[in-house]
Amino acid sequence: MLSVRPADPMAIEEAAARLARGELVAFPTETVYGLGADASSGPAVAAIYRVKGRPADHPLIVHVADAAQAQWWGELGAQGLALAQAFWPGPLTLIVRRSAQAPGFACGGEPTVGLRCPAHPVALALLRAFARLGGHGVAAPSANRFGRVSPTRAAHVAADLAAHAAGALGLVLDGGPCEVGLESTIVDLSRGAPVLMRPGGVAADRIERVLGCPLLPRDAQAPRASGTLAAHYAPRTPVELVDGDALAARLAELAGQGRRAAAWCRHRPDAPGSAHWEQAEDDPALFARDLYDGLRRLDALGLDRILVERLPAGAAWDAVRDRLERAAATFAGSA
């Protein structure tokens, strides 16, 4: 049976012991809740893929207690160390060449490994407790079924994974809602020039200021990385991105087809009475924090469409825009 427990010191120690025994544990980070396993254990990592329903060639991120532990997995180099000093603990994942001693169970067949030190007291306490038991790091993707909306509350984890957890996942540490609410920024440092693989909790311009050079866009030669599939982060209800001045017409069109829709936008549209409206945040950080929770709320209404107002231009919105575009891509072309 899946147990959800407040993340007090005793529960954290129990979670570390479970990890050391090869079990899975779900825990909070500042980004989203993670589904954790001993990254050095093949069977434990395989259980992550099984419980999530995740393709075996899709790499996981290894969470570490600090930069020193990260060096066991791969050489960070001058750029990686500079970024770790500036942004760890924090929502930044660094992809580096895997060391000879580091196992590749969590790497999806890549010669690289993604590393992150999370900025959440529960996550850090768990990683340190696991290190005291001899652990080198915790592989942890988001604690939800693959391709679906990421969890930002312990209740989301239980709702998504309880039916798939038997024999593998027994404990969810409840640390409250996630502060950032979106996954980490991923930067590839494995090929010389740094590459932005995924926008996230650390803005690209802040990273570029530390490095003193621009981040290159992801290309076909880039290693596979977590959360970079074209279609991802999707609720079960189809999502459409619509310009603000076209929302009312689209809602009316759907109503004329007998379809019920929700509009998630900054200002209430002049729409049919059957439409559900939810106000969107004007601030990108607040929108990011509420994004996955909001998609889950709207999904639970059981409507036919979720219409989301297209976001303003500007780099501050890049991470939220990325997630919404991937969520909408899952249903692209649906009538």
How many helices (H) and strands (E) the chain has is answered by: 10, 15
Asked whether 4 and 159 are in contact (CB, 8 A), the reply is no
Burial 136-149 (b: 16+ CB within 10 A, else e): bbbbbbbbbeebbb
The span from the first CA to the last CA of the chain, in angstroms, equals 40
Angle at 77 between CA 73 and CA 82, to 5 degrees: 110
Angle at 55 between CA 156 and CA 134, to 5 degrees: 75
DSSP string, 138-153: EE--BSSSTTBPPPSS
C-alpha to C-alpha distance for 327 and 149, rounded to whole angstroms: 8
C-alpha to C-alpha distance for 47 and 317, rounded to whole angstroms: 35
Dihedral over Cα of 112, 30, 156, 150: its sign: negative
Q: Where are the alpha helices (DSSP H) in 199-302?
A: 204-211, 247-256, 284-299
Asked whether 260 and 298 are in contact (CB, 8 A), the reply is no
Strand-pairing partners, residue 142, are: 34
Q: Is 142 annotated as a binding residue?
A: yes
Q: Is 198 annotated as a binding residue?
A: yes
Q: Is 99 annotated as a binding residue?
A: no
Distances in whole angstroms, Cα of residue 200 to Cα of each of 53, 54, 259? 23, 21, 34
C-alpha to C-alpha distance for 229 and 114, rounded to whole angstroms: 16
Q: Is 228 annotated as a binding residue?
A: no
Q: Is 116 annotated as a binding residue?
A: yes
C-alpha to C-alpha distance for 52 and 146, rounded to whole angstroms: 5
Residue 58 DSSP label: S
Could you give phi then psi for residue 294, rounded to 5 degrees?
A: -65, -45
Q: Is 112 annotated as a binding residue?
A: yes
Strand-pairing partners, residue 3, are: 171
Q: Is 226 annotated as a binding residue?
A: no
Q: Which residues are annotated as a binding site?
A: 31, 54, 63, 112, 116, 140, 142, 150, 184, 198, 233
Q: Which residues are annotated as a binding site for ATP?
A: 54, 63, 112, 150, 198, 233
Q: Which residues are annotated as a binding site for L-threonine?
A: 31, 116, 140, 142, 184
